[in-house]
Amino acid sequence: MKYSKQRELIKQTVLNSSHPTAEDVYLTLVEDNPQLSLGTVYRNLNTLCDKGVIKRVAIPNSKDYFDGILSEHQHLICDKCHNIFDLDVKAMDELADKIEKDQGIKVSSLQLFVKGVCHNCQKDID
Amino acid sequence: MKYSKQRELIKQTVLNSSHPTAEDVYLTLVEDNPQLSLGTVYRNLNTLCDKGVIKRVAIPNSKDYFDGILSEHQHLICDKCHNIFDLDVKAMDELADKIEKDQGIKVSSLQLFVKGVCHNCQKDID
DNA sequence: TGATAAAATAGTAATAGTTACTATTATTAA
DNA sequence: TTAATAATAGTAACTATTACTATTTTATCA
């Protein structure tokens, strides 16, 4: 894989922002790099995911988000502000084991989508 | 809401098949109803979901599936045959409670996506 | 350093799944 | 049976993403 300035910028943008979409990354970078192409952003986000440099957060009925945090964690989608927040749900491995035992199937991946109200928005309600 | 023959057929097709997509429903029905429009299928699937007659199974990076079983359950997406299977995961309510306590947030919905190998495909492996 | 090969880019076209629009048809209620 | 209104078929449009292609950038090595 050859170095490219664009890929470097895209990587840094994901690492320095919270769950940006491809479009977020593009809009962030295009200001100082007016020649940047949205296709380049998509292509590099895919490459970076494939190489394990970043992770894709794929949410049902929504565009993809990207995440610079590689350790396993789950996500909260806030009902109010629609932002995405990291959740450290401890019980996932046990749950996978339980499902394997109870259902008699092999589990290769387990993903949890939590919808609710984030800390910030909860403050606004109180 | 006025009766329509098309909506009735669409509803029956969802109730009588296992997790069909909009296209599945359309292809099933169009044979005996050549005038049926795909738009009508989409519109009525949405209406039936809104009215609580059927449920939408929205899976990340995939088209929507529909489900005639209304009771709360989770889904297995098989790595081999890519079909969708119902899973009765008992621990969901407890998990929601635990997340609310641990994370200090209000959970409005909790969805689990299990990827793995279904019973049928597991048989083929053995 | 300069030539060459390989990879990446920008810009655009194409795709998949779904929704929106509109003229026509079917259903319902009086 | 007519009049209203809701639903349809057929098509266009939309959104998120991928594919294509001519040009540019990067890396290699003589």
HSE on the CB side for A5, CA within 13 Å?
Answer: 6
C-alpha distance from B32 to closest chain A C-alpha (Å): 31
Question: pLDDT band for position B126 (50/70/90)?
Answer: confident
Note the pLDDT of residue A18.
96
Q: Classify B5-67 by CATH class.
A: mainly alpha
- Domain map of chain A by residue range? 5-67, 74-125
Average pLDDT of the segment spanning B49-77: 96
Q: Classify B74-125 by CATH class.
A: alpha beta
Average pLDDT of the segment spanning B58-70: 96
Where helices occur in A1-126 by DSSP H, the ranges are 5-16, 22-30, 38-50, 92-103, 119-125
Nearest residue to B60 (alpha-carbon basis) of B114, B117, B121: B114
Average pLDDT of the segment spanning B32-49: 98
Maximum alpha-carbon separation in chain A: 55
DSSP β-ladder status, B65-67 and A65-67: unpaired
Note the pLDDT of residue B70.
97
Average pLDDT of the segment spanning B91-103: 94
Place of tokens 């081999």: B80
pLDDT digits (tens), chain A, 126 positions: 999 999 999 999 999 999 999 999 999 999 999 999 999 999 999 999 999 999 999 999 999 999 999 999 999 999 988 899 999 999 899 999 999 999 999 999 999 999 999 999 988 877
Taking contacts as CB-CB distances below 8 angstroms, the residues of chain A near B98 are: 91
Distance from residue A6's CA to nucleotide C7's C1', rounded to whole Å = 13
pTM comes to 0.93
| B126 in contact with A, Cβ within 8 Å | no
What is the token pair recorded at B48?
């039936």
| B103 in contact with A, Cβ within 8 Å | yes
For residue B67, the cross-strand partners are B55
The per-residue pLDDT for range B101-117, each reduced to its tens digit, is: 999 999 999 999 999 99
| Count, residues in chain B | 126
DSSP β-ladder status, A74-78 and A106-117: parallel
Note the pLDDT of residue A22.
98
DSSP β-ladder status, A84-87 and A74-78: antiparallel
